[in-house]
């Protein structure tokens, strides 16, 4: 046995430190896995040129230019074009508040948390 396991005070301090580290790591993982979703209306879609892997998307009430991969699901592109043509809200999902890449596009249903 080591010095720490023989001394109950040192052992309890070491055990407390261990659990604190585990808890912090779990919280960091949890915060990294959360995505951001917003409901917006598309005003313009600029298709990427040959060699570009993303299309650019602009929304009402946002000065940012977002990106969606050209090889994203066909449904996502269809929803964005429908939003632009009909003025419908869509829900976009991104990795974080600072990220400009659209991961998912969903039909927005008012009154839901979607």
Q: pLDDT tens across 66-112, in order?
A: 999 999 999 999 999 999 999 999 999 999 999 999 999 999 877 66
- Residue-wise pLDDT for 31-77, tens only, equals 555 889 999 999 999 998 888 999 999 999 899 999 999 999 999 99
**CB crowding 14-47: b at 16 or more within 10 Å, else e:** eeeeeeeeeeeeeeeeeeeeeeeebebbbeeeee
Residue 88 DSSP one-character state: -
Would you say 68 and 105 are in contact if contact means Cβ atoms under 8 Å apart?
Answer: yes
pTM across the whole model: 0.68
Q: Bridge partners of 22? A: none
**Which tokens sit at 65?**
């230019």
């Amino acid at each position: 046995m080591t010095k720490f396991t023989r001394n109950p005070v040192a052992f309890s301090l070491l055990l407390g430190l261990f659990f604190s580290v585990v808890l912090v790591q779990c919280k960091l993982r949890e915060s990294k896995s959360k995505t951001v979703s917003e409901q917006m209306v598309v005003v313009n879609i600029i298709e990427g040129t040959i060699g570009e892997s993303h299309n650019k998307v602009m929304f009402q009430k946002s000065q940012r230019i977002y990106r969606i991969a050209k090889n994203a699901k066909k449904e996502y592109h269809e929803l964005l074009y429908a939003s632009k043509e009909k003025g419908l809200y869509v829900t976009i999902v991104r990795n974080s508040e600072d990220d400009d890449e659209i991961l998912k596009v969903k039909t927005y249903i008012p009154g839901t948390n979607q």
